[in-house]
Amino acid sequence: MPTLKRVDSLTLDLYLKGIFTQQFDQHHFDYDGQVGEVLAIGAYDDERLIGGILMRRRYDHLDIAKLAIDRAYRGKRLGTQLIRAAEKLARDRHVINITLSTRSYQAVGFYEKCGYQIYGTVVDLPFAGVTTTYFVKRLTAK
């Protein structure tokens, strides 16, 4: 009978990647090189970095991992510019969906104004008193 035991994470990661590769091959998916691409767009005031957006591609999906603007530059539509630039980058790469998450003390309303739809919320995540909200936006060709 099989048993469970701790294993080195790198060893397990390689093993599981092999299983997923077999599944992709069985279903005729061709996504070589489209996993793990990290994309970044910075916002600058002259040469000074004042904010940016960091994204990770996974197949036909892009996840916005981080978006932030220096406090002194908020309210100047830089966040909206970054979101629009990310969406253009995604469309150029034939991405279908963009996802992201934000916390209750961050930017829920901002993402709704940008056309992102809530697909889930989790209360007390990552800690008590905070709600994490998950968003998705389906891209269309433009």
What confidence category does residue 142 fall into, taking pLDDT thresholds of 50, 70 and 90?
low
28, pLDDT greater than 90:
no
Dihedral sign of CA atoms 17, 60, 80, 84 in order: positive
Q: What is the pTM (predicted TM-score) of this model?
A: 0.81
pLDDT (0 to 100) of residue 112: 97
Whether 14 shows a pLDDT value over 90: the answer reads yes
CATH homologous superfamily of domain 30-138?
Gcn5-related N-acetyltransferase (GNAT) (3.40.630.30)
Can you give the pLDDT at residue 27?
78
> How do residues 40-60 score in pLDDT, each as one tens digit?
999 999 999 999 999 999 888
* Whole-angstrom distance, CA of residue 66 vs CA of residue 93: 19
What ranges do the domains of the chain cover? 30-138
